[in-house]
Every structure is written in C-alpha cells, then in structure tokens.
Amino acid sequence: MDVSLLLVAVVVTALVFDFTNGFHDTANSMATSIATGALRPKVAVGLSAVLNLVGAFLSVEVAKTISGGLVDDARIGPAVIFAGLIGAITWNLITWYVGLPSSSSHALFGGLIGATWIAAGSDAVNFGKIVQKILVPAVAAPLIAGLVAAVATYLTYRLVARIGKRKAATGFRWGQVVSASAVSLAHGTNDAQKTMGVITLTLISVGYLPNGAPPPTWVIVSAAVAIALGTYFGGWRIIHTMGKGLTELEGPQGFAAQTSSATVILAASQLGLPLSTTHACSGGIVGSGLGRRDASVRWGLAARMVAGWFMTLPSAAVIGAAAGKVASFGNAGVVVVAVIGMAIAGVLWVFSRRGDKHPHRVVEDLAGEPERTKI
C-alpha cells in the first residue's frame, strides 16, 4: 500500500478512535449531573461536547508525551500504528457494549504497545516511561480523586446542615453544572490530545515531521472536532453504570465528585500525564459515596470496574498484537485488519440496538424519581 494512502488510513482510524473515546467517556463528565437531575441528558451531552472541543485547544503537553517516547518511532511505521488503533477501538466498543467504564486511554496505549512489540520487538517499547507516565498515574488518580471527593462530600453535608436543605438545593444544582463543565473541559485537555499524539507519531514515523515536533494545527482541530462529536452522541450504557450503578447520588455528592475529578485531570494535563479520566471520575464517585453518611457504595460493581481497568491495557495489547501480525503481511494484511475491525464494530452496534440504554431510558432510570434530585 502506498505510504500516503496508508497515512490517510491511519489518520482516519485515529479520528474514529477519538470519536469512540468521546462517546465512551461522556459519562465521566455528565453521569452525576444527569443522575441528580441537575442537567437533562441531551443538554448535558451537548454542553460536554462544546467544552471538550474548547479543552482540546488549551494544551498539547499530553500529545507531546505520546508522540515523544512511549515507543521507538524510528522502528515502527503507519501499519503498526494502524494495528494499534484497531486494538484500541475494538476494546472500546466491547466495553461500551457491556456498559463497563474502562479507560479509552489505556486501550490506546495497550493497542500501540502490542502492535509495536510484535512488529519491532520488546526493546522498541519504552517500559520505563510507560510505568512513570501511565501506570503510576493510573493507580494514583482514582485514589486521590476519591479521597478528595470523600472529604469534600463530608464537609459539604456539614455545610448543608447549617444553611438548610431547601436553600442549598438550588445552589448545588447550579454548582453541578459548573463542576460538570469543568470535567468536560479537563477531558478535552487530556483525552483529545492522545489522538493528536498518535497522529503526530505517525507523521514523525514517515518523516513528515521531525522528532519532537508538536501537533500541527490541522491535527489539533480534527481531533477536537472528532472527540466533540463522539461526546455529543453520548455513551448511554456507561452513563447508566456510572450514574446509578456505583452509588445513589445527590446534589452535594455530584458536585464534590466532579470538582475533585476535574482538579486531578487538569493537573495531569499540565504535567503532560496521559491520565485515564475514567479512573479519576470513577474514583470521585466512589469517594462521594463514602463521604455521605447514609449512602452505600456498590462494591461488587466497583470491583468489576477495577478488574476491567486491569484487563484493558493487556487485552488491547493482545488485540493490537494480533492486528499488527496480520498487518505485517503487507497491503492484504492491512485490508484484512480493517475489514475485521469494521465487522466487529458492526456486530456490536447491531446488538446494542436491542438494549435499553437510550436517552429516554436514562431519564427514567437516573432522573425519573423526583426525590432523588433533592438534597
């Protein structure tokens, strides 16, 4: 396959991944606001889409991290990156179908690592940087966000007891709109950059950009638009899991969970850490459940989510490695990988239409009980 044609295929596939990242992670920003009734579902995803778009333009530090050292760009080509993206997209769609809020970021890293390993050997993967930039933040983010959310929730309810529930209800509803917006903005500053980094890595691998080059403007714009569109379509299955499954949420909890998550994500973006926003936001929700005295955390679901987090990187790596092996056979291999990837996506989409995690169902399940929106 001509290098230019393969390059176009990689860019398009990267933007498809960005789109799946958007609808997979909508729940991170808006599940709690929908669950407490602070925002209507369609309004929530629309607001989140706009702020994801804006956030993507605020920083490129995470993109530089991805394009500058996780793998040896001198030893891989567009076919390897294409295979890695197929691994990431496939795992994203599988976890979306089952409603599991796994990390799109780790799916991307896993797919890229697996494809690189099979194509260029283990020494082409910079494991030291992966531990430092990916694995350590993956463990730290939910713990920090959860601890901050638990303390913030406890203090918030103490404040509510002093000023009265009725007065506090309206304030926290508006506070949730602001905090949810902050999470969406933070998500754009971190997750959209991962696709920017992959496209930039591809351009570097074929010599179109020098080593260490920042993402070109057209890459930033296209990645921002793709993740915004994905966010607008909304991952209703995962919104249902995060909004209702982990704990019963009230206004103060939603505000505390979102504020803590946004703080952690924005800090990571400034440090160039490609953080899993799913981990941070899930940790914040669990922490808000711990901070409210009469709330209960569904630890069984939380354990299943954590198990999914541990599975994400190696599972995407296996899929990426398999795709990389097939793609190594040349043009025919790349075509086969593309066809199989589209077939898997099509099957999952068809089966998903039989479910009930659509906007109107989310309204009924999450915000359909008036008493749940009260403090």
Of 222, 281, 230, 221, give the one whose Cα is nearest residue 257: 281
- Cα atoms in the Cβ-side hemisphere of radius 13 Å centred on 361: 13
Q: Is residue 372 part of a domain?
A: no
Q: Is residue 20 part of a domain?
A: yes
Rounded Cα distance between 375 and 255, Å, is 12
Q: Is residue 373 part of a domain?
A: no
Identity of residue 189: T
| Cβ–Cβ < 8 Å for 188, 224 | yes
Tokens of 358: 């659509």
Q: Is residue 29 part of a domain?
A: yes
**Binned average pLDDT, 10 residues per bin, the chain of 375 residues:** 77 90 73 74 84 83 72 83 92 83 84 92 88 86 91 85 68 80 84 86 86 87 90 68 66 82 85 79 87 79 84 93 90 89 88 60 50 39
Q: Is residue 52 part of a domain?
A: yes
| Cβ–Cβ < 8 Å for 66, 205 | no
Q: Residue for token digits 């929106």?
A: 373
Rounded Cα distance between 195 and 198, Å, is 5
Helix (H, G, I), strand (E, B) or coil at 118: helix
Rounded Cα distance between 159 and 20, Å, is 40
Q: How many domains does the chain have?
A: 1
Domain that holds residue 143: 3-367
Q: Is residue 245 part of a domain?
A: yes
Q: Is residue 374 part of a domain?
A: no
Chain segment 164-191, per-residue pLDDT in tens: 666 666 677 788 888 888 888 888 888 8
Which residues, including other chains, have CB under 8 Å from residue 356's CB and lie 6 or more apart?
none
Q: Is residue 352 part of a domain?
A: yes
Give how far the C-alpha of residue 128 lies from the chain's centroid of Cα atoms, to the nearest Å.
23
The string of DSSP codes covering 216-265 is PHHHHHHHHHHHHHHHHH--HHHHHIIIIISB---HHHHHHHHHHHHHHH
Tell me what pLDDT residue 373 has: 39
